[in-house]
Amino acid sequence: MSGKLYLIPTPIGNLEDITLRALRLLKEVDLILAEDTRTSGKLLKHYDIQTPMQSYHMFNEHQKTEGYTNQISEGRIVALITDAGTPGISDPGYMLVKSCIEKNISVECLPGATAFVPALAISGLPSHEFVFVGFLPSKKGRQTKLKELSQESRTLILYESPHKIITTLEQISEIFGKDRRISISRELTKMHEETLRGSVGEVLKIGKEKPLKGEIVVLIEGK
């Protein structure tokens, strides 16, 4: 009897942002695969979920994908979660999903939290068409990627870390032009949630005057 893989989104900040179905399944499955068991442990403890948990992250997915796929094919019901948001969206998940599909194992993804959707909805930029880029290359190919994206007519969505955000905004200003409209959302769903809107030059000035902390979603107006 074949098992099943569930992809279950977890809150990106506010622990209340999880569905009733997600909580039920996390209690019912045989095993939870978590990106960081310490981080996910806080969520599970908060909701008194005692399902066994094992780690599955970018540093071990190559070694562990086949083993977990075999467990599911032998009948185990497994849930995959990440530290925050939807598995597979700039987080581990793709390899396990691909492996399960190749073995005709049922895969189901629940709807739920992901950072770029609320950031897009409140950006004030066109949302009928957009391109989700995720994280830019860390070093090699970064400038080339930005030059390519600068010609895109649809709204662009990037993820960025707080210690790189100023450098990224400076590169966007140089390549896209300082007058291109952008929106930056940080700490979404948390107490210090903030969205900055304006031209690249205006937002860059604000960012240099006060540190931009937390995970950041950057939205850039299309050409």
Is residue 44 predicted with pLDDT exceeding 70? yes
At 92-148, the pLDDT tens digits run: 999 999 999 999 999 999 999 999 999 999 999 999 999 999 999 988 899 999 999
CB half-sphere exposure, 158, CA atoms < 13 A: 26
What residues contact 207, with CB distance under 8 A and at least 6 apart?
165, 166, 169, 184, 196
Six-digit token string for 54: 């094992």
Cα 123 from Cα 90, distance rounded (Å): 20
Cα 209 from Cα 113, distance rounded (Å): 31
Rg value, the chain, Cα? 19
Is residue 1 predicted with pLDDT exceeding 80? no
Domains and CATH numbers, the chain: 4-109 (3.40.1010.10), 116-220 (3.30.950.10)
Cα 182 from Cα 143, distance rounded (Å): 18
> Considering only CA atoms, which of 43, 38, 72, 37 is closest in space to residue 55?
37
Whole-prediction pTM: 0.92
At 137-185, the pLDDT tens digits run: 988 899 999 999 999 999 999 999 999 999 999 999 999 999 999 999 9
